Amino acid sequence: MGKLDGKVAIITGAGSGMGRATARLFAKEGAKVVVADVNLANAEAAAAELGDAAIAVHADVAKADDIKAMIDAAVTTFGKLDILYNNAGFSGPHQPLDAVEDDFLDALYAVNLRGVYLGIKYAIPAFRANGGGVVINTASAMGLKGRKGLAAYGAMKGGVVALTYAAALDYATENIRVNSICPGMIFTGLAGNDPAGGGTFPDYPGASPMERFGHAEEIAAAALFLACDDSSFVTGVNLPVDGGMIQA
C-alpha cells in the first residue's frame, strides 16, 4: 500500500523541477494528482507520465480565478481534495535591493506570496467538505536566512514562512495541517536543460555545507512526509531541506 492511497493532491508548478518530481512520487504512493502549471504544455507532459493518476490544469497562481478553477478541477474530477502543495514560484537575478525593478518586485509578490495565500484561502472550503486536509508551501532557506542579492526574493519567501505559522494556527482545530519546505540550492535541470529535471549535475561544492546541490527528489521526499499520516501531529513547521545552509 502507498502512503497516499485514496488521496487527491494538487501540486502547483508541477510541470517541471521539484513539482514534477513530487507529482511522480505522490502518484507512485497512490495519490491522484492535479498537475497545475502556468505552462500547460509542461503540465500535460508531466501528467501524461502518470497516466490515469493525473490530470493537467493551466494555472497562473497570481490569478484568483485560476486557483479557484484548479481546485474545482480536482473536486470535479476526483471527488475531493486532500492535499494542496503550493509549489509554484520563481527567483530571478541576484542584485542589490535598489537595482530591483518595481514591476519585478510586484511579480515576485504576486506569484511567490500572494499565490500561496490565495491557494490556502480557496482550498479551505474543499478541505472542510472533506473533513480536513494538508497544505504544503514552498518557502526557501532564503526566507529563514538573508543572502546578498536576494532581498526581494527572500522577503517573499520570508512572508511564506510567516504565513505558514499563522495559517497552521488558524486551522489547527479543523484537521487542516499547514507546513512549508524551505529548499536550499536544488538542482532541477531548468537552466538550459529539460523541464523534467534532466541534464548534467553541476560541480559546485559551495552549494551547501554538505558540498553539493540538493536533488528535486529530496524535496519530493520531504513533501511526501508532510503530506502523509507519518506527520499527522506536525503543523506550523518550516522545514529546511538545504544541506545545512541556514546553519552555515
Q: Which residues are catalytic?
A: 153
Contact 37, 14 (CB under 8 A): yes
CA-wise closest residue to 152 among 200, 201, 92: 92
SS (H, E, C) the chain: CCCCCCCEEEEECCCCHHHHHHHHHHHHCCCEEEEEECCHHHHHHHHHHHHHHEEEEECCCCCHHHHHHHHHHHHHHHCCCCEEEECCCCCCCCCCHHHCCHHHHHHHHHHHHHHHHHHHHHHHHHHHHHCCEEEEEECCHHHCCCCCCCHHHHHHHHHHHHHHHHHHHHCHHHCEEEEEEEECCEECCCCCCCCCCCCCCCCCHHHCCCCCCEEHHHHHHHHHHHHCHHHCCCCCCEEEECCCHHHC
